[in-house]
Structure 1
Amino acid sequence: MSEVHTGGCQCGAVRFRVSGKLGQASICHCRMCQKAFGGFYAPLVSVVNETDLTWTRAEPKRFQSSNMGARGFCPECGTPLTYEAPDGIAIAIGAFDDPGAIAPVIQYGVEGKLPYTDHMADIPARTTQEDYEAEAFLAAIVSNQHPDHDTETWPPVHPGETENG
């Protein structure tokens, strides 16, 4: 049986499925990837056979970040989704429904690596619950984030709303 991996953007407007084995997972520290992800680095996994990738709900919008590569992102919420180059396509690890199953095995662009990223585990850490003193604040949050699984439609209709708002 073939492997199947699903994922999508934060708002659920763009969803994908990869049917087949994923390629090498990596982290890229180059400045272009830092800016594209708005983060310290870009965690990506290559798609071995591009025909294994299916956009199941919409497609990303693309920005031609260089003459050799384009970046795919959700046109609604801005979630970074792909890096597309002549040698293939890679998908943002965090966009998968189960990102914990995809561990990077190599780092690229280390000349752009931010000096403190090697010491992230040394920084004091707190859970979300510990970060907020009032449980009422957490209880009042209504998430608009798409769940980590495929849905028939999105966004859902909340009680008291109609499909048109």
Structure 2
Amino acid sequence: MNGTRDKSGGCQCGAVRYRTTGELGYPHVCHCRMCQKAAGNYSLPLAGVMRSDFDITRGEPKWFHSSDLVRRGFCGECGTPLFYDVPGAEFINITLGSLDEPQSVKPVAQSNMASKMRWSHELDALPVEPEPESSEREDAIASSNHQHPDHDTDHWPPGESR
């Protein structure tokens, strides 16, 4: 496997957190229909890490067997997709969007191209929404944000003891 080492990540609400201490292998974007459904999106970026280099550091994911061969791990509280797992394999795949620093892992390939959206190459040509004239809405969202920060915390949410 090749890639970047020592990463942490987790779900949106902070109930499930994980850490990898090994290299992330084969970071890629999967376009298969199962990944689309699991992510609720057009594709799902994934990378593998050896099980010996992977730990769940908070909570326990829920699992859904999307086929007889594969199960998918997600947060039972907020629903964030976290893992693509082949039980018995030496590795587990993590969803790259669940990393604390998703920008740090660049995919090296795409898979299951038959299910890729035919128009996806046109996305960069779409108009971009203008920035708001007032930051009122963004300030209101920031001041009421319940999303876990992009780093490990001793406990979550703030003010709640273990």
Structure 1 unaligned segments of length 5 or more: list them. 158-162
**1:117 Cα deviation after fit:** 1.3
| CA deviation profile, 1:86-133 (whole Å, cap 9, x unmatched) | 543110000001100111111111111111112221112236xx1x44
Moved more, 35-44 or 78-87: 78-87
**1:74 Cα deviation after fit:** 0.4
* 1:39 partnered with 2:35: no
TM-score (normalised: structure 1): 0.87
Which residue in 2 is equivalent to 1:105? 108
* Identical columns (%): 47
SS in 2 for 1:12: coil
* 1:25 partnered with 2:27: yes
State the AA in 1 paired with 2:48: S
| CA deviation profile, 1:4-37 (whole Å, cap 9, x unmatched) | 1101000000000001111110111111110000
Instruction: Indicate the RMSD between aligned Cα atoms, in angstroms.
Output: 1.7
Q: How does 1:1-165 map to 2 (within 5 A)?
A: 3-47=5-49, 49-86=50-87, 87=89, 88-126=91-129, 130=131, 132-141=132-141, 142-157=144-159, 163=160
Distance 2:140 2:5 in 1: 38
TM-score (normalised: structure 2): 0.89
Distance 2:5 2:61 in 1: 23
Alignment: residue pair count:
154
